[in-house]
Chains A and B, each alone.
Chain A
Amino acid sequence: MAYKRKQNRGETPKLDMTPMIDVVFQLLIFFVVTLKQEDILSKLSAARPAPDKDADPTKQPDPTTIIVCPQGFLFNGMPLRIDVLDSKLERVARTSKTAMVLIKCTGDSPHKFLIQALDSCNKHGLLNLSILSI
């Protein structure tokens, strides 16, 4: 009895897979085409000095100060390009990684320069960063 049933099932007509495969391929192509790759993002952390603890950055013995202005960067009063600033920061990092770096930004400087300065600090492992708006 059981044997007979098995044989019957084996002879049931096969389902036509062609339309399903067509549709499934269409869907697959649609999803492949609409897939968008996204940029890998990074975050650059910095602190803002609290106004009530305003003495903090000055308490530090001579914090490294970078001034960001619309034309570029000022380091120790000297105008610099980003690559020169980068080598200066490397020297700072060699003496102390925990040294505080104070980044002072003027209001009309583009945000781009702040990011470049932060990125350069991150590159050399300087993580004690403060942003001050002037």
Chain B
Amino acid sequence: MGKTRTEQCEMDMTPMIDVVFQLIIFFVVTLKMTSDINQDILLEDGKHGVTITEENRPPSTLEIELDRFGIITIHNARLSQDMLNTILRNRVNKMGNQFPVLIRADYRAKHEQVKMVMDICTQRGIWKLSFVAIQEHKAEKK
């Protein structure tokens, strides 16, 4: 009598374990432990711009970050103007001046600081620049 009861209660765990593993693998893959963008930069809204997706952001894209004090960083590594100039020169020598340049500037930055970055780009023959803005807020506000 008791034996049949325990046998009835047994549940097949296999599908649940499968699903849970799938979920874990999804989260592991999408997890970003360290952010390679400057977190201090706050962007202005730009709802009508072209959405930045994986497709229209080729790996050759150079994203220059500029915070509100006019400090230039790339992938959160601080650069001086000369260093940015050198990086751009090496890049232009290697792959021409057709790679996309994104300027991720804080909305509180002054135009003269943005101009400084734009001038360095134009010195190296890059005339077409794009500015990064927020199309849709998803992240929780700080």
Contact = CB atoms under 8 A, between A and B. Distances in A.
A12 to B, nearest CB: 16
Interface string B14-54: 00110011011001101110000000000111111111100
B5 interface: no
B123 to A, nearest CB: 10
Contacts of A116: 44
A72 to B, nearest CB: 13
Interface stretch (A1-9, A27-35, A58-66, A73-81): A27-35
Nearest to A40: B136
Interface residues of A, number: 46
B108 A110 contact: yes
B77 interface: no
Interface residues of B, number: 51
A20 to B, nearest CB: 8
A44 B107 contact: no
A21 to B, nearest CB: 7
Contacts of B48: 42, 119-120, 122-123
Contacts of A50: 122, 127
Interface in A35-64: 35-51
Given A31-B24, A114-B114, A44 B31 contact: no
Given A25-B20, A40-B51, A40-B138, A118 B108 contact: no
Contacts of A39: 43, 134-139
* Binding site secondary structure of chain A: mixed
Interface in B115-142: 115, 118, 121-122, 127-140
A133 B46 contact: no
B75 interface: no
B65 interface: no
Contact of B138 (A21, A27, A32, A38): A38
A115 B16 CA distance: 49
A93 B1 CA distance: 84
Interface of B: 13, 16-17, 20-21, 23-24, 27-28, 30-32, 43-52, 102, 105-115, 118, 121-122, 127-140
